Amino acid sequence: MVGSNENKELRQYRDLSHLSVLIVDDNLLNQKILAKILSRSYIEPDFSKDGDDALLKCASKHYDLIFMDVHMPGKDGFEIVQYLRKIDNTAVILGFSADVTKEAIERGIKAGMNAYLTKPIEQETLFAVLNQYFS
């Protein structure tokens, strides 16, 4: 059904421009790819290349949604999430990593991540998660 597919796409890419979003990843290409996908919902994210920079940004601005890489130089994403949960328990924090081991996923959830997404992310998966938290 053509109408059904059109409705699905409209739901999938609804306007989420009101969300304040931070992408924390030491890989510039990963930042750009995720930002390109998010742009379909009119999201214009801020970026951090490491945990310390993310902490500075989060201290000066509230974010509704944070994408957190887990393996970065300096403080890893798990440490940063634990700290962020102490100062802001309302942000949706999504782990975002190529590390798909059971241990990493469990550690992320235990640290305070709302969900753990794997790289490379599929658009459908990403928007399904966003719809879950921001419906």
Q: CB within 8 A of 74, min separation 6: which ones?
A: 50, 51, 52
CATH number corresponding to 15-133: 3.40.50.2300
What residue spans define the domains of the chain? Answer: 15-133
Question: CA nearest 113: which of 96, 93, 84, 133?
Answer: 93
| Per-residue pLDDT at 1 exceeds 80 | no
Instruction: For residue range 59-116, list pLDDT tens digits in order.
Output: 999 999 999 999 998 899 999 999 999 987 899 999 999 999 999 999 999 999 999 9
Q: At what angle do helices 123-133 and 28-38 cross, to 10 degrees?
A: 70
Q: What is the dihedral of CA 106, 68, 54, 35, to 10 degrees?
A: -170
At 75, list the tokens.
């403080």
Residue 39 DSSP class? G
